[in-house]
Structure 1
Amino acid sequence: MVNQPLEKAVEHLAAMEPNRGRWTIVCELSPFASIPGRNYPVVMSFMGEDGPSASNGISSDSVSEILSEAFV
């Protein structure tokens, strides 16, 4: 199942992102499955070019504002 508002938020974040890497959404969320490289369940994450999680270059306030629109 695809969450259109969340996909739109990730596209917005990707367009703003100054760091190398990519924003990604989990395909299957459960206590035992998540985004590869994450040791706990998450809905989305910024991943480095080689796969493991990495630091994004967008302020946490901006990320939370964009994501809040997806969870209205």
Structure 2
Amino acid sequence: MALDDKLDGLKDEAAGKTKEVYGKVTGDAETEAEGKAQGLIGKAKEKLGDVKDAASDLVEDVKEKFDK
């Protein structure tokens, strides 16, 4: 479901940002990089949710046109 993808994305973005900041504060470059990567994965999941929503809307529009 698209909402699940969006929520997972937001969760990953928040966790990634936390990890990234922790890495910066502690001087741990590996943790900082992991945080950045997790944040990017979160953004990708969010975009996937947007694409799924758009595809679902398109399918509904096509169905409506054929039902007329």
Indicate the structure with greater helix content: 2
- Say whether the fold is shared (TM-score over 0.5): no
Instruction: Give me the TM-score of the superposition, normalised by structure 1.
Output: 0.29
Indicate the structure with greater strand content: 1
Pair member with larger Rg: 2
Structure of higher RCO (CA pairs closer than 8 Å, 6+ residues apart): 2
Instruction: Give me the TM-score of the superposition, normalised by structure 2.
Output: 0.30
